[in-house]
Amino acid sequence: MAPQNHPEAPSAEETAWRLYMDLRENPCRTGALKLTHWLREDQAHPPAFDRALRLWALAGAALVVSRRRNFHPPTGGLE
């Protein structure tokens, strides 16, 4: 018999990320309720959501730092 390939269920972090991104892209009551219910389902969900939000914040901070490093203020012709 051939082995069966069952796709793995998404991790809590992946689900947290997806729910957050869905809510961010389409802010609505339904998305907020989905997130709220998911957070209450399991004690592991709030920490997973926290990790997803930290990842989002760190990615944003990295973009800001990168932009600042690439920014060259005008010299006003004093070169």
Structure tokens at 35: 């997130």
Report if residue 5 sits inside a domain.
no
Task: Please say whether the beta carbons of 43 and 28 come within 8 A.
Answer: no
User: Residue 48 is part of which domain span?
Assistant: 12-67
Question: How far is residue 40 from each of residues 11, 46, 47, 49, measured CA to CA in Å?
Answer: 16, 8, 12, 11
Please tell me whether the overall predicted TM-score, pTM, comes out greater than 0.85 for this model. Answer: no
Number of domains in the chain: 1
Using alpha carbons, select from 21, 24, 16 the residue that is nearest to residue 42: 16
Task: Please say whether the beta carbons of 19 and 31 come within 8 A.
Answer: yes
Report if residue 73 sits inside a domain.
no
Tens of pLDDT, residue by residue over 20-62, are 999 989 999 999 999 999 999 999 999 999 999 998 888 876 6
Pairwise CA distance, residues 41 & 43, whole Å: 7
Tens of pLDDT, residue by residue over 2-16, are 556 656 788 999 999
